Amino acid sequence: MPELNTPTAPEAATASLPRFDEFGLAPPILQALTEQGYQHPTPIQAQAIPVVLQGRDVMGAAQTGTGKTAGFSLPIIQQLLPHANTSASPARHPVRALILTPTRELADQVAENVKAYSRHTPLRSTVVFGGMDMAPQTAVLRAGVEILIATPGRLLDHVQQKTLNLSQTEIFVMDEADRMLDMGFLPDLQRIINLLPKQRQNLMFSATFSPEIKKLAASFLKNPQLIEVARSNATAERVTQIIYKVEEEAKRDAVVHLLKQREIRQVIVFSNTKIGASRLARELERAGVKASAIHGDKTQGERMAALEAFKAGGIDVLVATDVAARGLDIAELPCVINYDLPYNAEDYVHRIGRTGRAGASGDALSLYCDKDARLLADIEKLIKQKLVPVELEDFHPRSGRGERADRGERSDRADRQSDRQGDRYADRSERRTERGPRAASAPIPRKEKVDPWFLKPYEPAAPAVPTEAKPADARNAKTPPKRAALLGGRSKG
Ligand code: AMP
């Protein structure tokens, strides 16, 4: 075992890390951070906080799980403190910071963080997103909030209803800009930007930088400082990736087998389709696994409940589509499983980025069928790594389809067919629900070709904790059961 992983190494590593009190953040903010259990800023926080405090525009290359939310919200709260007041007058609480996110879950999580970080200040914040009654949101907006977190569609609904005035916005944050474009939000974003005062600070975060993202950035960022921590394809280096070759019909049995064989708890299983996700969750439940599906057809309440149960350990397996999983505040999972290889190689990188974070190692297990050859080739090209499918050890799938029929799955094949045809973009309808009638004319999400910038070999910035390289032949090794460490301050496991 390398010397870096001796018990004294973490102490040596943290001694040289920056501290929150070096940034000049006000005592109420520092107090909140202590209460959150944050001891040291993450690399993106260390880089972003001073730059944002200077009032500069920022283009941040970072994905969820890096601590980027605090990276932008802490300096925002600090900058707004001079405006903080306890007046009951709504006029004294105009929206001064607007944070846009592509999904409801991410909006909710960002809002939770902002609330926590600002809890010892009189600054007000709220979140608005689709799929919820507008009336309570309207009441809060009318009373006045300084920090507003929103998804684009619902924000525009409020603007249209004149329950929201953005003319005093000083700071604008666009979070997960790449996903915003994927979800067809570009026209909404442009409308929103036009509603903001010309003089303002802009912060944009994106996990990937396609030419479209760069174009968008150039259209509204002024002389931005580029902040880059770990490019999303970097995660592959800390993750043991195993591709298991299985028959299409045996995939669900293979998931159950993997969960049992490797004693996996707290895992996200990725499905390309909503129907597939629901069906797999049901099948896992039948096999005695505590599982729940999370995707765009679930109500907001159902998604939140599943997420909370997962975090609390009441559910071991969350079966998710890409859009639903994106932005979930779940980090440092010991393992993710690709039930389907994703249609877009970039999604593979996002998926496996759920594990192997912050210096930890993780396993990304994928099921591969012969029809997936092109998808696998795309992934290999993107991550610049050869992935050789291997047999799944000791796996004896229940072969007969009759057995499945007995369990009420007569139309298994037909279902899969419909998955592929009717649900290729798994969360398209989620986008529609979110955005209401406007989305009817919205363009179908389309993935762009990967930018060469993204393909540059990764050079680690400054890992928080030293890591041990995983042996290349770890493929079939049985791993001891690991619990997820879900980032989140005090709740950290
Ligand atoms: P984010 O990438 O912003 O979604 O953050 C991921 C998770 O990391 C959240 O649960 C945060 O509460 C947590 N987190 C953010 N900053 C820190 C920090 N400095 N120390 C410990 N946890 C953190």
Question: Poorest-confidence range of 20-34, 112-126, 137-151, 172-186?
Answer: 172-186
Ligand 1 atom having least distance to the Cα of 41: 19
Identity of the amino acid at 430: E
Over residues 459-478, the mean pLDDT reads 34
Task: Indicate whether 199 pLDDT > 70.
Answer: yes
Task: Indicate whether 478 pLDDT > 50.
Answer: no
Evaluate: CB of 329 within 6 angstroms of ligand 1. yes
Per-residue pLDDT of 91-136, as tens digits, reads: 999 999 999 999 888 899 999 999 999 999 999 999 999 988 999 9
Evaluate: CB of 467 within 6 angstroms of ligand 1. no
Question: Poorest-confidence range of 38-47, 49-58, 241-250, 413-422?
Answer: 413-422
pTM value is: 0.59
Evaluate: CB of 60 within 6 angstroms of ligand 1. no
Q: What is the residue-averaged pLDDT of the chain? A: 78
Ligand 1 atom having least distance to the Cα of 39: 20
Residue 418 has φ and ψ, to the nearest 5°, of -70, -30
Evaluate: CB of 484 within 6 angstroms of ligand 1. no
Strand 239-245 relative to strand 335-338, pairing: unpaired
Evaluate: CB of 331 within 6 angstroms of ligand 1. yes
The alpha carbons of the chain give a radius of gyration, in whole angstroms, of: 23
Confidence (pLDDT) at 297:
77
Spatial separation of the C-alpha atoms in residues 234 and 231, rounded to whole Å = 5
What's the distance, CA 245 to chain centroid? 28
Evaluate: CB of 361 within 6 angstroms of ligand 1. no
Confidence (pLDDT) at 332:
65
Confidence (pLDDT) at 369:
95
SS3 content of the chain, % helix, strand, coil (to 5): 45, 15, 40
Confidence (pLDDT) at 6:
30
Contact 271, 255 (CB under 8 A): no
Distance 484 CA to ligand 1 centre (A): 15
Ligand 1 atom having least distance to the Cα of 69: 3
Ligand 1 atom having least distance to the Cα of 62: 2
Ligand 1 atom having least distance to the Cα of 63: 2
Task: Indicate whether 303 pLDDT > 70.
Answer: yes
Residues 6+ apart with CB under 8 A from 452: none
Confidence (pLDDT) at 179:
86
Spatial separation of the C-alpha atoms in residues 280 and 269, rounded to whole Å = 9
Distance 5 CA to ligand 1 centre (A): 23
Task: Indicate whether 337 pLDDT > 60.
Answer: yes
Spatial separation of the C-alpha atoms in residues 372 and 361, rounded to whole Å = 26
Spatial separation of the C-alpha atoms in residues 186 and 205, rounded to whole Å = 15
Q: What is the DSSP code (8-state) at residue 333?
A: B
Where would I find the H helices in 54-171?
Answer: 68-80, 104-117, 134-143, 152-160
Distance 42 CA to ligand 1 centre (A): 8
Confidence (pLDDT) at 311:
83
Of 19, 34, 38, 235, best ligand 1 pocket probe by most atoms within 8 Å of the beta carbon:
38
Distance 67 CA to ligand 1 centre (A): 4
Confidence (pLDDT) at 212:
87
Protein residue closest via CA to atom 14 of ligand 1 = 67
Evaluate: CB of 389 within 6 angstroms of ligand 1. no
Evaluate: CB of 73 within 6 angstroms of ligand 1. no
Strand 239-245 relative to strand 201-206, pairing: unpaired
Confidence (pLDDT) at 479:
40
Residue 43 binned pLDDT confidence (cut-offs 50, 70, 90): confident
Ligand 1 atom having least distance to the Cα of 65: 2
CA dihedral 29, 63, 493, 8 (to 10 degrees): -90
